[in-house]
Structure 1
Amino acid sequence: MSSADYLQGACVWNGVDMYDNPRWVKDFPPAVLDEIDLAVGKSAGIAWAEIDRDNFPLPSSKAFFDDVREELENGSGMVKIRGLDVGRYDHEQLRRIWYALGRYLGTPMFQNRRGELMREIKDEGAGVGAKLYGATVDASGKEFLSSGARTLSPGELRFHTDRCDVVGLLCVRQASVGGVSKLASSATVYNEMLKRRPDLHALLCKPIPRSRFGEEAGGQYVTYDLPVFGVRDGKLTSHFSLTYIENAQLLSNVRKLTDAEHEALRMLLQLAQEQCFEMRFAPGDIQLLNNHIVYHGRTAFKDDVTTGQDRMLMRLWLSVPNSRALPEDHAILWGDVSGGMPHGGIAQPATPCVT
């Protein structure tokens, strides 16, 4: 399959499809919920990061999680799991449950250079995200936040992907206003751009300069080149975060994008908005997304602590055992590009980064 071929299959969808055919919505089997309850008690005293399948047994869960992984890799690329009553558990119990579910689905990967395997996504307050993940200034002198810093603010998040096969979010609390999840099929965006503007599509199949600014520090180089669209064995991978592309453009030693490349990136975001659908989390909802074929964003939100409506999600980055093989040139970001092998996540700093 060449980059000029249209993608096929259940990964190609638009927002209307998802509303009309909620194949991606799954409920925990009652037996699995009962086993979670039992395992929470048995694992008391075990740190959440030490939880595994042996000390958190869910013997009835295999068929369910196999079905979830199949939908993620060979279906729509997204799953919402309902049924977990988060109000029954304290914070540490929820950490154990969520990490256990991640271990049943795949291998948790590092989410930042500080080695975090689980991250709470919430409004950390002014300046906290910038301190943790980094900030710089743009050409006009305005503060430019890293992608990680933006995640820990209440502001809108543009469509993007994370550096892992599957990103998982467990909603513990929802905001009083906003915080709506926006999802779009990157395969649909790929096809629509190929149909409408094949000239711009071709540009996104070629290398685009990226920065490892903030959370991606720890790689061998501060900057790297990677296409937005890559296809191997008929399967797409689209790694996209405009923040890293924009930051690379602020660096003096990086190739400047052409007007046509800027137009292609704008069109990608326009198509994602056109083809997306919106989903608001309820407490207990679990959202799982295959980053290779789904872009995700978020509307701005406002918390109300007095009513207990202060948005907090627990996030895992997972490498899954049924993952697709990636194009060879994606090794600079993903490491091992073989199918089914642990890859992705943030490299942990051993030596200083160089340009």
Structure 2
Amino acid sequence: MTTEVSLSPISGPSAWRGDELAGSTEWIYVLGDAERAELEEAGRKFVADDPDLRTVNAADYPLDAARGLIDECARQMDAGRGFVLVRGLRTEEYGDALAGAIFFVMGLHLGMPMEQNQLGDVLDHVIATSNKTLDDPGALPSRVRDRLPFHSDSSDVVALMCLRASKEGGASSLVSGTAIYNEILRRRPDLAPLLFEPWHWDWRGQDPDAPADTYVSPICSYVDGIFSTYAGSSMIFSAQKYDGVPQLTDAQVELLHLYDEISQEQGLALDMDFQPGDVQWLLNYAALHSRTEYVDWPEPERRRHLLRLWLKRDVGRPLVDGFGKNVVKERGAEEQKPVEGGAFRIAAAVVPNQDWGN
């Protein structure tokens, strides 16, 4: 394994621009009838079996007709653009339990579901449960309606299923980490090497039960010719409040601001309007994600509601030692332990905790 600092532009399918993809549908996988029928059958069996979401595995729900779908999602995440949008599920006809079961079965075939919160839930929600904004203390990004900054999640893969769309806005935004790096390299080659150096990240801000205040990871990894990204400047800035964390240099602060500015520039990101039944699979190492601000429907039952999976996906991707998510994701490998309040059966797991984020 060879670890390098690349000061040359990175090429390949992960170096895409949103304005180049927006006019095409090459990133959308439309389900065929046989694929959809098999997924629905697997989902109905899953609901009837009612397995524990922490221990169920893919072998219990084999896929044949949908194998091409799973293989294409894997290919795009591992060696392609880093994401794919799957369209064609009829979630409005299913009810949330069946929709969630289909989503979970797909996830089992693409990786190992991980815990996402202190309750140990492996199926979580993106839904506004209050009128808080990101400026409010304790506000959870998944439970507000604000536009989110681009960031990486604490997993190899993050997946979203749209159960219900917003009244206005709420597009899912993706941006290529490779494209951001190339643009930084073009504009400020003097700052680019800093991306490969260690940075302190606010661990306790992401997880109140974290074993330490911070962890350390570079923003970029380039190993054996494979480029990877782990980003989210807010967690770097918030780590500055802890004792013992080195203060950011002027150059580091300038780089973080430049990174965020480039990610928001017109044409770089791809905005996709989620429709009910859409499922987005994203490799966190290839692209960052956010969403646009949105307006909800007044009726609680019509609120914008996405289901979320975090997956551990071990395909031997070469990374520098201790690369961001490798530190956090180990919690998903802990022995199963009793957790009060967690939802580990599909019928309960698809119902959001209305107190979460209030």
TM-score (norm 1): 0.85
Give the counterpart letter for 1:104 in structure 2. H
Say whether residues 1:98 and 2:103 are aligned partners. Answer: yes
Change (3 A) 1:233 1:112: farther
Q: Which residue does the alignment assign to 2:119?
A: 114
The structural deviation recorded for 1:312 is 0.3
How many aligned residue pairs are there? 329
* 1:32-90 Cα distance to aligned partner (Å, 9 max, x none): 21112222333343235165434433222222211111111111111000000001212
Distance (Å, rounded) in 2 between the aligned partners of 1:56 and 1:261: 48
Q: Which residue does the alignment assign to 1:205?
A: 196
3-state SS of paired residue (2:254): helix
3-state SS of paired residue (1:96): helix
The structural deviation recorded for 1:231 is 1.1
* 1:168-195 Cα distance to aligned partner (Å, 9 max, x none): 0000001101111111100011111111
* 1:295-339 Cα distance to aligned partner (Å, 9 max, x none): 111111121143954100000011224351211132x74059xxx
Say whether residues 1:75 and 2:80 are aligned partners. Answer: yes
Say whether residues 1:13 and 2:13 are aligned partners. Answer: no
Structure 2 gap segments, 5+ residues each = 338-358
Tell whether the 8 Å contact from 1:32 to 1:60 is kept in structure 2 after alignment: yes
Change (3 A) 1:20 1:301: closer
Q: Which residue does the alignment assign to 2:93?
A: 88
Q: 2:288 aligns with which of 288, 295, 298?
A: 295
3-state SS of paired residue (1:160): coil
Change (3 A) 1:225 1:143: same
Q: Which residue does the alignment assign to 2:207?
A: 216
3-state SS of paired residue (2:58): coil
Q: Which residue does the alignment assign to 1:327?
A: 320
Distance (Å, rounded) in 2 between the aligned partners of 1:181 and 1:88: 23
Change (3 A) 1:243 1:345: farther
Tell whether the 8 Å contact from 1:192 to 1:271 is kept in structure 2 after alignment: yes
Within-5 A mapping of 1:303-318:
303-306=296-299, 309-318=302-311
Q: 2:147 aligns with which of 156, 160, 173?
A: 156
Q: Which residue does the alignment assign to 2:176?
A: 185
Tell whether the 8 Å contact from 2:204 to 2:212 is kept in structure 1 after alignment: no
The structural deviation recorded for 1:236 is 1.7
Change (3 A) 1:344 1:78: farther
Identity %: 29
Distance (Å, rounded) in 1 between the aligned partners of 2:225 and 2:7: 11
Distance (Å, rounded) in 2 between the aligned partners of 1:348 and 1:156: 33
Structure 1 gap segments, 5+ residues each = 131-141, 337-342, 351-355
Give the counterpart letter for 1:240 in structure 2. A
Change (3 A) 1:180 1:164: same
Change (3 A) 1:216 1:348: farther
Tell whether the 8 Å contact from 1:217 to 1:347 is kept in structure 2 after alignment: no
3-state SS of paired residue (1:159): coil
Give the counterpart letter for 1:84 in structure 2. L
Tell whether the 8 Å contact from 2:5 to 2:193 is kept in structure 1 after alignment: no
Distance (Å, rounded) in 1 between the aligned partners of 2:183 and 2:150: 16
* 1:219-251 Cα distance to aligned partner (Å, 9 max, x none): 442212211111111112211122211221122
Change (3 A) 1:345 1:24: farther
Say whether residues 1:234 and 2:225 are aligned partners. Answer: yes
Distance (Å, rounded) in 2 between the aligned partners of 1:329 and 1:294: 19
Q: Which residue does the alignment assign to 1:40?
A: 43
Q: Which residue does the alignment assign to 1:53?
A: 58
Distance (Å, rounded) in 1 between the aligned partners of 2:199 and 2:128: 31
Distance (Å, rounded) in 1 between the aligned partners of 2:116 and 2:299: 31
RMSD of aligned residue pairs (Cα, Å): 2.6
Change (3 A) 1:302 1:28: same
Change (3 A) 1:300 1:100: same
Distance (Å, rounded) in 1 between the aligned partners of 2:94 and 2:331: 29
Distance (Å, rounded) in 2 between the aligned partners of 1:237 and 1:84: 31
Distance (Å, rounded) in 1 between the aligned partners of 2:332 and 2:202: 13
Say whether residues 1:254 and 2:261 are aligned partners. Answer: no
